C-alpha cells in the first residue's frame, strides 16, 4: 500500500508540474484541458465500439422490461456506457494503459447489465471497492462515484456507519473511464476502520465547485439510499485539489459534517495565484466581489461549529492554503489544528496520517453536534445561508459580509443574536429539540451592529416576543427587518426578492436543472446572430468538456410548460431570433430591441452589443432565465482550479466587435449586480 501511495504521489507531482508552469499564465496560448488523447488503432476502436453496442443493447432491454430493480439500478450500469462512449468520441484515453483500462471498464459494465437483466445486482451487496452511479438532476446525465465498503459492513441489520467523503486531487486526464477504473482497483489514500469512504467524481477537474459541488451532495444523497450512513458521522476530507474542495464544502455546509480534514490545495483565489502560480492579477471590481463565493477565508468563522484538522507538508508550496486559513481563523478567535509533515513536499507524511486518523476517530466517537447552543455564522450570498437551526433569509447586500452570532439558551426563554448585514432570518428547532420552557413564549433579542449606514461602531438592540414552543417541543420563529425595526413573521411579498437559490450570479443557474433554448430565427443583426450562436455552441461543448454533462437543448418553439415550471431557461439569441426571449423581453430590467440595449439611462447600439444576464423568469419567478451565457469562466481558468470562479455578475453588456477569447465573451462595456429586489442599482 505504501508503494502504491508513493506512485500516486509521483503521478500527482508530475501533473502539478504540467498544470502550474509559467506558460499557464499566458491567456493567449491556452493548452487544451483535457488534452487530446491517443488515436485508437482500428482494432481497439472496433473492440470498444462493438462492446459498447452490446452494452447499449442490454441497457435498452433492461429499460424496456420496466422491472423495478432494473429501473432503480440502471445508472449503476449506464455509467460504464457513457464513460466508454465519451472516451472514444472525444479521444479521452491518453495512453496505451488507458485503452486497457477502458476495456476492463466495458467488461464490468456488460457483466452488470447481464446480472441486472436476470434480476440480480451483486455489486449492491459487495464489500471492498464498488463503483456506483446516479442520475443528476442538473442535466439527467449519469454520474459515477466510488465506494469503499468495509469488510465489517453488514448488509442486513440496523447498525449505521461513519462515512468519510474523500475529494480527489487534480487530474486533467481523469475522464470517467479513467476515474471508474481507478475506483475499481485502488483503495485510495484513506481507509479508516469500519468506515464507508465515498469518492465523488465531482464532474471532473473543477475543485468541486458549481456542478462539481452539487455532484458531491447528490452522490452523498444517493449513497444514503444504498448504505446505512450515520448522518451524525459524515466527514469531508481531501488532498491537493481535494483539499480545496474540502475547505469550501466545510465552510459552506458546516452543519453537514462531524469533521473536516483538508490537506494542501488552496483556500482562496488571489493570494494562492500570486504565491503558487506567480500570476499577476488585475481583476475587475466585480470579480473581486465574486471571489467571495469560494474564498474560504471570508467564511472562516463557520469553523467555530465544525471541528477541523488541517494538514500540510512542511516543504509544500500548497501549505499556503492552511496558513492563510489559520490567519483568518485567528481573526475570528479560533485556533486551527494544523498538522505539518516534517521535511515533506506534496504528500501526506506517514506519521501525520496516523495522527489524523486518531483525531478523526476521536471526533467520530463524539459525532456531529446536531443542535449547538451557540452558532457563529458568516455568508456573502444566500446560496450558502444555513447552519444548523439558523437560516438567513435576506441580506442587506449580496457579496458583502453578513454575520449572525449568538445562542439559544439565554435566561428566561431568550434567544440572543448579534447580526450584521442580515435583513431576515429563521430559527427552526424540530420536534423534541427545543430547550425552552414550553409554558412561556420565547423572546428573541436581536442586536444589529455595523449596519444602517452608521459605521462600525453602530449598535442597536431590540427584543421581540416570539411564539411559544409547541407541545412536541418544536419551535419555529421567523423575523425580518423593516427599516430599523425587526418584525415577527415573513416579509410581505410585494415583488421580486433575492432568496436562496434565486440570488445570482449567472453561474448559479448551472447548479440546478437547466435547459438551453436555441433560437430558430435569425437575429436582427448579423454580428449578434453569429455571436449568440457561437456562445450557444460553446456552452454545449464546454459543458461536456468541463462539467462532463450533456446539456439538455430545446428549440424555442418546442419548449413545454412543464420545462418552464421545473427548469432554469438559458436563452440564446435576441428578441427577434428566440421567440421565448421575445415574449418576455419587455418584462426584463434591461431593454433590448433591434435598435438599442438600454440599461437605466445608458443606451448601446444593438447592432454590435448584446446583454448577458440572469433574472427570475417572468413566466415562472421560481426559476431563472439567463440570456446568452453559459458558466462564465472560460478556458484560461481550466489551467488552474483557483481561477475557476465566476467572471461576470448578474448582468453585463458585451460589445461583440471584440472577439471572444479564453477570458471573456467579448468586450465587457458595463456589468453589475442587481439589488436585493432584482432591480438595477
pLDDT tens digits, 504-561: 999 999 999 999 999 999 999 999 999 999 999 999 999 999 999 999 999 999 999 9
458 with 523, same domain: the answer is no
Q: How many CB atoms lie within 10 A of CB 354?
A: 10
576 and 665 fall within a common domain: yes
**Domain-embedded: residue 616:** yes
Q: What is the mean pLDDT of residues 19-29?
A: 84
Q: How far apart are CA 246 and CA 262, in angstroms?
A: 5
- Grid cell for residue 14: 508530475
Query: Tell me: the pLDDT tens digits for 177-236?
Result: 999 999 999 999 999 999 999 999 999 999 999 999 999 999 999 999 999 999 999 999
513 and 457 co-located in one domain: no
Q: Say if residue 519 is in the same domain as residue 647.
A: yes
Predicted confidence band of residue 493 (pLDDT cuts 50, 70, 90): confident
Whether 301 shows a pLDDT value over 80: the answer reads yes
In a domain, 426, yes or no: yes
Same domain, 587 and 528: yes
Are residues 520 and 456 both part of a single domain?
no
CATH number at residue 634: 3.30.379
Phi, psi of 385 (to 5 degrees): -130, 15
pLDDT confidence band for 456 (50 / 70 / 90) = low
Residue 593 included in any domain: yes
Same domain? For 471 and 596 the reply is no
Q: Does the structure show a pLDDT above 80 at 409?
A: no
Q: Are residues 421 and 510 in the same domain?
A: no
Please give the pLDDT value at position 11. 37
| 588 and 615 Cβ atoms separated by less than 8 Å | yes
Q: Same structural domain for residues 554 and 473?
A: no
Asked which of 459, 488, 517 is the last residue of a domain, the reply is: 488
Does 484 lie in the same domain as 555? no
Same domain membership, residue 476 and residue 554? no
pLDDT at 65 over 90: yes
Residue 655 lies in a domain: yes
Nearby residues of 362 by Cβ (< 8 Å), 6 or more positions away: none
The pLDDT of residue 7 is 34
Q: Which residue has the cell 450570498?
A: 381
What does the mean pLDDT of the chain come to? Answer: 95
**Residues 152-163: pLDDT tens digits?**
999 999 999 999
Does any domain span residue 463? yes
The answer as to whether 94 is a domain residue is no
Same domain, 421 and 561: no
Query: Quick one: pLDDT band at residue 12, thresholds 50, 70, 90?
Result: very low
Number of structural domains in the chain: 2
Answer with the one of 454, 488, 522 that is the final residue of a domain: 488
Q: What is the pLDDT of residues 413-441, one digit of tens each?
A: 999 999 999 999 999 999 999 999 999 99
Q: Which helix (H) or strand (E) holds 22?
A: none
**Rounded to 5°, angle at Cα 529 from 523 and 532:** 115
User: What is the span of the domain harbouring residue 566?
Assistant: 506-672
Q: How far is CA 1 from the centre of its chain?
A: 32
- The pTM of the whole model exceeds 0.85: yes
Choose one of 456, 488, 520: the last residue of a domain. 488
Report the C-alpha gap between 256 and 231 in whole angstroms.
8
Residue 234 forms part of a structural domain: no
Judge whether 498 and 509 are in contact, CB under 8 Å.
Answer: no
User: So what's the pLDDT on residue 450?
Assistant: 83
Buried b (16+ CB within 10 A) or exposed e, 619-646: bbeebbbbbbbbbbbbbbbbbbbbbbbb
Q: Is residue 637 part of a domain?
A: yes
Q: What angle do CA 74, 78, 79 make, to 5 degrees?
A: 125
Q: Is-contact 654 669, C-beta < 8 A?
A: yes
Cell digits for 478? 421567523
Amino acid at each position: 500500500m505504501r508503494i502504491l501511495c508513493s506512485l500516486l504521489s509521483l503521478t500527482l507531482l508530475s501533473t502539478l508540474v504540467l498544470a502550474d508552469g509559467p506558460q499557464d499564465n499566458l491567456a493567449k496560448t491556452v493548452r487544451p484541458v483535457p488534452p487530446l488523447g491517443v488515436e485508437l488503432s482500428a482494432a481497439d476502436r472496433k473492440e470498444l465500439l462493438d462492446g459498447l453496442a452490446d452494452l447499449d443493447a442490454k441497457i435498452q432491454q433492461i429499460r424496456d422490461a420496466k422491472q423495478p430493480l432494473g429501473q432503480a439500478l440502471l445508472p449503476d450500469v449506464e455509467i460504464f456506457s457513457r464513460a466508454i462512449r465519451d472516451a472514444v468520441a472525444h479521444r479521452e484515453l491518453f495512453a496505451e494503459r488507458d485503452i486497457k483500462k477502458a476495456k476492463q471498464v466495458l467488461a464490468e459494465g456488460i457483466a452488470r447489465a447481464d446480472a441486472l437483466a436476470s434480476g440480480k445486482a451483486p455489486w449492491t451487496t459487495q464489500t471492498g471497492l464498488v463503483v456506483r452511479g446516479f442520475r443528476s438532476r442538473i442535466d439527467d446525465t449519469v454520474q459515477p462515484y466510488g465506494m469503499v465498503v468495509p469488510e465489517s459492513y453488514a448488509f442486513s441489520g440496523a447498525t449505521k456507519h461513519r462515512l468519510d467523503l474523500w475529494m480527489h486531487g487534480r487530474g486533467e486526464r481523469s475522464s470517467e473511464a479513467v476515474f471508474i477504473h481507478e475506483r475499481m482497483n485502488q483503495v485510495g489514500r484513506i481507509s479508516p476502520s469500519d468506515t464507508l469512504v465515498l469518492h465523488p467524481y465531482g464532474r471532473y477537474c473543477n475543485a468541486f465547485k458549481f456542478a462539481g459541488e452539487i455532484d458531491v451532495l447528490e452522490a452523498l444523497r444517493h449513497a444514503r439510499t444504498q448504505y446505512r450512513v450515520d448522518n451524525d458521522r459524515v466527514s469531508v476530507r481531501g488532498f491537493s485539489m481535494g483539499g480545496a474542495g474540502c475547505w469550501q464544502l466545510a465552510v459552506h455546509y458546516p452543519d453537514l459534517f462531524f469533521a473536516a480534514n483538508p490537506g494542501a490545495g488552496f483556500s482562496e483565489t488571489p493570494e494562492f495565484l500570486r504565491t503558487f502560480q506567480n500570476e499577476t492579477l488585475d481583476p475587475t471590481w466585480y470579480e473581486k466581489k465574486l471571489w467571495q463565493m469560494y474564498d474560504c477565508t471570508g467564511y472562516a468563522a463557520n469553523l467555530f461549529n465544525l471541528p477541523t484538522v488541517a494538514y500540510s507538508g512542511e516543504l509544500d508550496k500548497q501549505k499556503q492554503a492552511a496558513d492563510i486559513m489559520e490567519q483568518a481563523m485567528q481573526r475570528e478567535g479560533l485556533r486551527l489544528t494544523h498538522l505539518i509533515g516534517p521535511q515533506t513536499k506534496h504528500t501526506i507524511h506517514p506519521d501525520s496520517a496516523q495522527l489524523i486518523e486518531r483525531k478523526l476517530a476521536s471526533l467520530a466517537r463524539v459525532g456531529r453536534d446536531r443542535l449547538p447552543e451557540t452558532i457563529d455564522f458568516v455568508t456573502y450570498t444566500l446560496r450558502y445561508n444555513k447552519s444548523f437551526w439558523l437560516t438567513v433569509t435576506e441580506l442587506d447586500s449580496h457579496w458583502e459580509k453578513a454575520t449572525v452570532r449568538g445562542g439559544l439558551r439565554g435566561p428566561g426563554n431568550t434567544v440572543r443574536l448579534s447580526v450584521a448585514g442580515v435583513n431576515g432570518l429563521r430559527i427552526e428547532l424540530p420536534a423534541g429539540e427545543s430547550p425552552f420552557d414550553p409554558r412561556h413564549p420565547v423572546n428573541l433579542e436581536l442586536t444589529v451592529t455595523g449596519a444602517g449606514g452608521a459605521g462600525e461602531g453602530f449598535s442597536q438592540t431590540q427584543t421581540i416576543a416570539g411564539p411559544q414552543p409547541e407541545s412536541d417541543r418544536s419551535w419555529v420563529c421567523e423575523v425580518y427587518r423593516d427599516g430599523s425595526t425587526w418584525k415577527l413573521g415573513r416579509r410581505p411579498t410585494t415583488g421580486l426578492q433575492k432568496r436562496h437559490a434565486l440570488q445570482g450570479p449567472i453561474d448559479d443557474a448551472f447548479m440546478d436543472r437547466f435547459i438551453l433554448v436555441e433560437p430558430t430565427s435569425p437575429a436582427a443583426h448579423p454580428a449578434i446572430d453569429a455571436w449568440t450562436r457561437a456562445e450557444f455552441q460553446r456552452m454545449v461543448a464546454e459543458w461536456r468538456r468541463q462539467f462532463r454533462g450533456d446539456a439538455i437543448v430545446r428549440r424555442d418553439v418546442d419548449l413545454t410548460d412543464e420545462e418552464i415550471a421545473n427548469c432554469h431557461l438559458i436563452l440564446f439569441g435576441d428578441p427577434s431570433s428566440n421567440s421565448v426571449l421575445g415574449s418576455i423581453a419587455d418584462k426584463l430590467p434591461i431593454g433590448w430591441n433591434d435598435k438599442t440595449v438600454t440599461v437605466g439611462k445608458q443606451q448601446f447600439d444593438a447592432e454590435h452589443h448584446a446583454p448577458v444576464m440572469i433574472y427570475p423568469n417572468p413566466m415562472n419567478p421560481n426559476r431563472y432565465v439567463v440570456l446568452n451565457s453559459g458558466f462564465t469562466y472560460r478556458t484560461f481558468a481550466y489551467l488552474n482550479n483557483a481561477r475557476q470562479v465566476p467572471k461576470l455578475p448578474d448582468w453585463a453588456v458585451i460589445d461583440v466587435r471584440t472577439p471572444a477569447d479564453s477570458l471573456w465573451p467579448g468586450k465587457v462595456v458595463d456589468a453589475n449586480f442587481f439589488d436585493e429586489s432584482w432591480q438595477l442599482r
